[in-house]
Structures are given as C-alpha cells and as structure tokens.
C-alpha cells in the first residue's frame, strides 16, 4: 500500500554481483546457475555458457544496459504492481529476455497488488487512512490477458 514506485533489487541497474570466481554477474543467481551446472536447455545454454558480464581484470560491460531499465520495459513501465520483483534471472529463464517478466511474476505481483487494494478499502471502512493513495481496480493478473474489444 505504501509503495509509490517500483521496489525491486534493480540487479544490473543499481547493483552488480562480484562472485568468488572474480567475475561480474547481473545477479548472484546467474553465478549459482554456473556453479551448480544448471542450464536452461530451452535457452540453448550448455555447460560452457558464461553468464558473466566481465571480470576483475577487464572490468564489467553490460551489453545494452538500457534494456535493464524500467523505462525500456514496455509491460512494466506503466504497471503499478510496485512490489513486483522484476527478477531478471527469472525473466531470462522463462521469457529469454532480461526485461520481459514471466506470466508467473505478473500474476503473483498483481495478486499482491489487489490484496493491498482490498486491505486498503477494508481499513477505509473504519476511517480515513492514507487518503492520497488510490489503487485502481483492474480486471487482469497479467497484462497479456488484456483483450481489446472491437
């Protein structure tokens, strides 16, 4: 209820991971995948895949860093499910894109958003509470579920 903007870890935007192997990763999960030899076959990764974005010797270089930014995420930039994790590791695993959330992430975030709306409305039945906050009603849990009527 109290969030007024996206609230996530901002991996690759405000934070970068330096792993014990001396490499940089957008998120620690990419390092752990390599260490545990977990590879997504649908993503065409193989055991020689390297998810790092640099190392201590060469520094780090994030290819197309703007694609990690919220304003370059068509689905997310207008979304008000601010508690969404926007997990780039999970995005890569499930959508093959850093900046495109999976169905699961959107549904979970919108369920939490709607629960906040319901709780806020229940509290307001007793008295004025957080009058500047307005969580609008929505009829979807994933933006891809919105259908245009013709």
Confidence of residue 148 (pLDDT cuts 50, 70, 90): low
Residue 62, in any domain of the structure? yes
pLDDT for residue 39: 60
Of the candidates 77, 56, 62, 73, the residue with the CA atom closest to the CA atom of residue 27 = 62
Alpha-carbon span 126 to 86, nearest angstrom: 34
Residue-wise pLDDT tens digits, 39-50: 654 545 454 557
pLDDT reading at 15 higher than 80: yes
pLDDT for residue 145: 83
pLDDT reading at 149 higher than 50: no
3-state SS track over 25-39: ECCHHHHHHHHHCCC
List the domain range (segments joined by +) for residue 36. 17-145
pLDDT for residue 38: 67
Residue-wise pLDDT tens digits, 62-119: 988 988 888 888 888 889 999 898 899 998 888 888 888 889 999 999 999 999 999 9
Number of structural domains (the chain) is 1
Residue 17, helix vs strand vs coil: strand
Residue 5, in any domain of the structure? no
pLDDT reading at 61 higher than 60: yes
Residue 128, in any domain of the structure? yes
Residue 7, in any domain of the structure? no
Residue 52, in any domain of the structure? yes
**Do residues 24 and 52 lie in contact, with contact meaning Cβ atoms separated by under 8 Å?**
yes
Residue-wise pLDDT tens digits, 126-137: 999 988 888 999
Residue 141, in any domain of the structure? yes
Residue 81, in any domain of the structure? yes
Residue 8, in any domain of the structure? no
Quote the pTM value.
0.79
């Amino acid at each position: 209820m109290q969030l007024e903007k996206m609230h996530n870890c901002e991996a690759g935007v405000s934070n970068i991971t330096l792993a014990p192997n001396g490499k940089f990763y957008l998120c620690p999960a990419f390092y752990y995948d390599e260490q545990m030899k977990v590879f997504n076959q649908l993503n065409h990764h193989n055991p020689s895949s390297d998810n790092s974005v640099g190392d201590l010797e060469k520094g780090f270089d994030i290819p197309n860093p703007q694609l990690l930014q919220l304003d370059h995420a068509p689905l997310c930039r207008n979304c008000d499910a601010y508690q969404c994790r926007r997990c780039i590791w999970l995005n890569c695993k499930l959508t093959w894109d850093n900046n495109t959330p999976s169905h699961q992430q959107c549904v979970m975030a919108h369920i939490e958003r709607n629960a906040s709306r319901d709780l806020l409305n229940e509290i307001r039945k007793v008295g004025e509470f957080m009058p500047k906050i307005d969580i609008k009603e929505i009829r979807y849990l994933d933006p891809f579920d919105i259908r245009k009527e013709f």
